[in-house]
Chains A and B, each alone.
Chain A
Amino acid sequence: MAILGKSKICPFKEDPSLIKKINYKEYKFLKKFITDQGKIIPAHVTGVSAKYQRLITSEIKKARVLALLPFVVDPRNN
């Protein structure tokens, strides 16, 4: 986990080629932005800028509908 309050650089500003990967078909890439429980990690933790966080959120939600990503993961079942 990142330390709160520490300024981070948006990964998509560092490497603009990653922007293409914000897509529900690239669900393996989107897994970086969800927790083990399946929750979307807030932008202030990952350092993603607001613009791309909005995109990530909507794409994760699409992937959830298609069962590519989980809505919830119960840690007791694993």
Chain B
Amino acid sequence: MGIYETTYILHPALQEGRLNDIVNTIEKKAVSLGAEILYSDNWGRKKLAYYIDKEKYGTYIFFQYKLSDLNNLKELSGEFEHNPNVLRYLNIKIAEQDIMKAKIKESGNSEKDENSSVEEKQDNTDTEKEN
């Protein structure tokens, strides 16, 4: 038994309705394998750091879930592996304290704040080095 999180990249050419269909089918597959979904989020369309299957962009989908049997995780990975719309996926085992709270709207705002604070801190460290 463990808590896992999976991030996967979907093909950039998918329209919004089709994209939601694929996300739903993957989540249904996960639930049918005994997963209890704790948190799910759409990170949106991002530019990839390198080309994957000749694609420059991708839509990132993230979800966290509880799974009782490790063999079911392998089966879920197989689902990602054989789905042509999934460019890349990553499963990671996490601790209970890493579960995110389901506040999608607020988390979107706080992410922006965090990013700006990161930049500020970077500036500070740069000036410190100069000093």
Contact = CB atoms under 8 A, between A and B. Distances in A.
Interface of B: 7, 9, 46, 48-50, 52, 58, 60, 62, 88, 90, 92, 114-115, 118, 121-122, 125, 129
Q: Is the interface of B mostly helix, strand, loop or mixed?
A: strand
A4 interface: no
Contacts of B92: 62
A2 B129 contact: yes
A11 interface: yes
A67 B48 contact: yes
A66 B9 contact: yes
Contact of A71 (B50, B60, B88, B125): B50
Contact of A67 (B52, B121, B122, B129): B52
B125 A11 contact: yes
B130 to A, nearest CB: 12
Given A67-B88, A70-B50, A71-B49, 6 more contacts: A11-B125, A66-B88, A67-B50, A67-B52, A67-B58, A69-B49
A71 to B, nearest CB: 7
A62 B90 contact: yes
Contacts of A64: 49
Contact of A66 (B90, B118, B121, B125): B90
Interface of A: 2, 11, 18, 21, 25-26, 28-29, 32, 62, 64-71
A66 B50 CA distance: 10
Contacts of B88: 65-67
A28 B47 CA distance: 13
A62 B91 CA distance: 10
